[in-house]
Amino acid sequence: MITTNNLTKIYGEQKALDQLNLRVNQGEIYCLLGANGAGKTTTINLLLGFIKPTSGIALIDNMSVHQNSQETKKKLAYIPENLMLYSSLTAIENLDYFSGISKKEFSKSELETFLIDAGLQKEVFNKRISTFSKGMRQKVGIAIALAKDAKALLLDEPTSGLDPKASNEFGLLLQKLCKKGVATLMATHDLFRAKEVATSIGIMKDGKLKEQFKGDKISLSKLEKVYLNTMDYKS
């Protein structure tokens, strides 16, 4: 569902992303680990079509993101690191707006179902977003993804700044989506959460994918060791 072939992005002299080959199938959660500047966010931006690749290709459902950006955007949902919704609108209004502008209209009860599925409590549906915590905003983000019936989910540091409980809830939610056949690519620093939810884990450094594991094949302490070794290794 989410594929990159030799994806490369060069800013001036600097290679932000170097020949990246990734593949995330339906029902998979792929966690990208790596230091700041390793190329995680660049990968997500390229998959979203926010930036142009220098070479290589990014594919969503076997369609090139840069040739069919509208089509691929229909299939994916994205939750940025700090999800900012419209603070003067309520949760349900935000959901209505974001699905509405991409030509998906829902009745009020349908919208409420999405919010419930995303794990948001009913009492806050009609509260303004300005009163929401980050975890609650992310749930609205998931609801937007649900409403869109997204096949691919791109997450940028979704658990940073969440308290452990909210982080755990978020992980469970992802696994629920995963069972529905959504392909998820998640960039994160959170080794623990990655180990918990991922079906696959990749470690990036200097724009390159250095290591790849199956999520269930590695223990947390092993993962940490490999991660630190990769970071220390001078290329």
- For position 62 contacting another protein by CB under 8 A, the verdict is no
Residues 6 or more apart whose Cβ sits within 8 Å of residue 62? 3
d(CA 185, CA 207): 16
Nearer to another protein, 63 or 218 (CB): 63
Taking CB under 8 A as the criterion, the residue among 36, 70, 219, 235 binding another protein is 70
Place of tokens 């949760």: 91
184 is a site residue for another protein (CB under 8 A): no
Rg, C-alpha atoms of the chain: 18
Joined tokens for residue 146: 């649900």
**For residue 110, what are the contacts with CB-CB under 8 A and spacing of at least 6?**
none
Residues 124, 179: Cα–Cα separation, whole Å? 27
Residues 134-173 that bind another protein (CB under 8 A): 141, 144, 154
Given 1, 83, 146, 187, the residue binding another protein (CB under 8 A): 83
By CB under 8 A, the count of residues binding another protein is 36
Which two three-digit tokens encode residue 34? 């790596």
Rounded distance between C-alpha atoms, residue 9 and residue 43, angstroms: 9
Residue with Cβ nearer another protein (87 or 221): 87
76 binds another protein (CB under 8 A): yes
Taking CB under 8 A as the rule, does residue 106 contact another protein? no
Distance of CA 21 to the CA centre of its chain: 17
Interface residue with another protein among 49, 202, 207, 215 (CB under 8 A) is 49
101 binds another protein (CB under 8 A): yes
According to the binding rule CB under 8 A, does residue 29 interact with another protein? no
**From 6, 25, 100, 133, residue interacting with another protein (rule: CB under 8 A):** 100
In three-state secondary structure terms, 194 is helix
Q: The tokens of 234 are what? A: 């001078």
Contact pick of 21, 25, 55, 71 for another protein (by CB under 8 A): 71
Give the shortest CB-123-to-another protein separation in angstroms.
20
162 in Cβ contact with 192 (< 8 Å): no
Interface contacts to another protein, rule CB under 8 A: 11, 45, 48-52, 66, 69-71, 73-74, 76-80, 82-86, 88-89, 93, 96-98, 100-103, 141, 144, 154
